[in-house]
């Protein structure tokens, strides 16, 4: 079995599904990542001190994330901002 990529930031992998969102897609960053510069707000942030953009992403409940993927069974997700326009 191929290891699942958990984190695009530091390349962490896991041997199989663990029931968290990284089962479906790797997170941008995780607790093992060194601090990074946010693409959205240009500030340095980390899991210990996340920026405002990161908090917004993190506020999506896991059930909603899975519902998004369940809608059409693909990884093509329309950004919420597009739907609300």
**Residue ranges binding Zn ion (CB under 5 A):** 7, 9-10, 30, 32-33, 38, 40-41, 51, 53
Cα separation, 22 vs 58, in Å, equals 12
CB of 79 to Zn ion, least distance (A): 16
CB of 46 to Zn ion, least distance (A): 10
DSSP string, 51-72: -HHHHHHHTS-HHHHHHHHHHH
Show the CA angle centred on residue 74, arms to residues 20 and 39, nearest 5°: 65
Nearer to Zn ion, 9 or 65 (CB): 9
Nearer to Zn ion, 42 or 76 (CB): 42
């Amino acid at each position: 079995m191929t290891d699942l990529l958990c984190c695009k930031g530091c390349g962490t992998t896991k041997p199989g599904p663990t029931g968290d969102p990284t089962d479906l897609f790797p997170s941008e960053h995780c607790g093992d990542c060194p601090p990074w510069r946010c693409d959205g707000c240009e500030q340095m942030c980390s899991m210990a001190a996340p920026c405002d953009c990161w908090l917004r992403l993190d506020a999506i409940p896991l059930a909603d994330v899975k519902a998004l993927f369940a809608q059409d069974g693909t990884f093509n997700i329309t950004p919420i901002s597009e739907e609300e326009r």
